[in-house]
Amino acid sequence: MTTQMPVIYVISDALGETAEFVSRAAAAQFSGVRTRIRRVPYVRDEVHLDEILEEAVHDQAIVVYTLVLLGLRNHLEQRAKEMSLQTVDILGPLIGAISVQTGLDPSHIPSIIHRLDEQYFRKVEAIEFAVKYDDGKDPRGALYADVVLIGVSRTSKTPLSMYLAHKGIKAANIPLVPEVAPPEELFTIPVHKVVGLTLRPDMLNLIRTERLKTLGLGASADYASLERIVRELEYARNVMKKIGCRIIDATGKAVEETASMVLDIMYRGERRD
């Protein structure tokens, strides 16, 4: 008899570490059975949830979740039932039992336990956020980010995102490419949450040329051509002007210096002059 490898989707409106730990503990009870666990953190809307459940159906997965947002929890159960998916609610029954015992209503606030050590856990959350929403992997991250960094390739968006994450700032970054329309999310969030990054063309040319060398590619590729770079920078600046965001020229600046400027824009809510 061939045993199918079980697939577990761990869905959370926070980090999802608790549900993943419980899932791994349960899977460990079945010796010799390989289990694939996919953790999906920061699920905060029904559209995103529906997309994940569609993928879970394809994988014939068991859905394990820690959702404290009641509406989202109810939506998951309803959709999972329609899709014939098995679900395991890690937090719901215990929250309900405590509510009955105390006569109090739960707050239904995601990540509330993190307040026990807010600074540490916020950093962990921010790092995971930066990884998940790096390089425009999912433009919806802009809706939940503390700051969104935009710019052409190799303008230090990723290093800056990670630096900010270690400061507890949830940073998403989205590349601007002339051949690809910028995501609509950039035009719907508060303008002071978007920061444009740019570099001098000659500096960007040098950085991209070195990047191609590390990849074993010729420096003559269009990606590193000065003509292409000037065109990209002009396109990016036009997008930034349309958004109305502040623009930082990171040429010659250390990551720490650029990060300080980003934080100033965020907290003061400054606008472009």
Cα(61)–Cα(154) distance, integer angstroms: 38
Q: Is 155 annotated as a binding residue?
A: yes
Cα(267)–Cα(259) distance, integer angstroms: 12
What's the angle, vertex CA 158, arms to CA 259 and CA 243, rounded to 5?
70
Q: Is 168 annotated as a binding residue?
A: no
Cα(160)–Cα(172) distance, integer angstroms: 10
Q: Is 153 annotated as a binding residue?
A: yes
φ/ψ of 250, rounded to 5, equals -85, 5
Task: Assign 103 to helix, strand or coil.
Answer: coil
Q: Is 152 annotated as a binding residue?
A: yes
Q: Is 154 annotated as a binding residue?
A: yes
Task: Assign 206 to helix, strand or coil.
Answer: helix
Cα(89)–Cα(143) distance, integer angstroms: 26
Cα(110)–Cα(38) distance, integer angstroms: 20
Q: Is 84 annotated as a binding residue?
A: no
Of the candidates 66, 65, 56, 4, which has an alpha carbon nearest to the alpha carbon of residue 35? 4
Give binding residues as ranges.
151-158
- Which residues does the annotation place in the binding site for ADP? 151-158
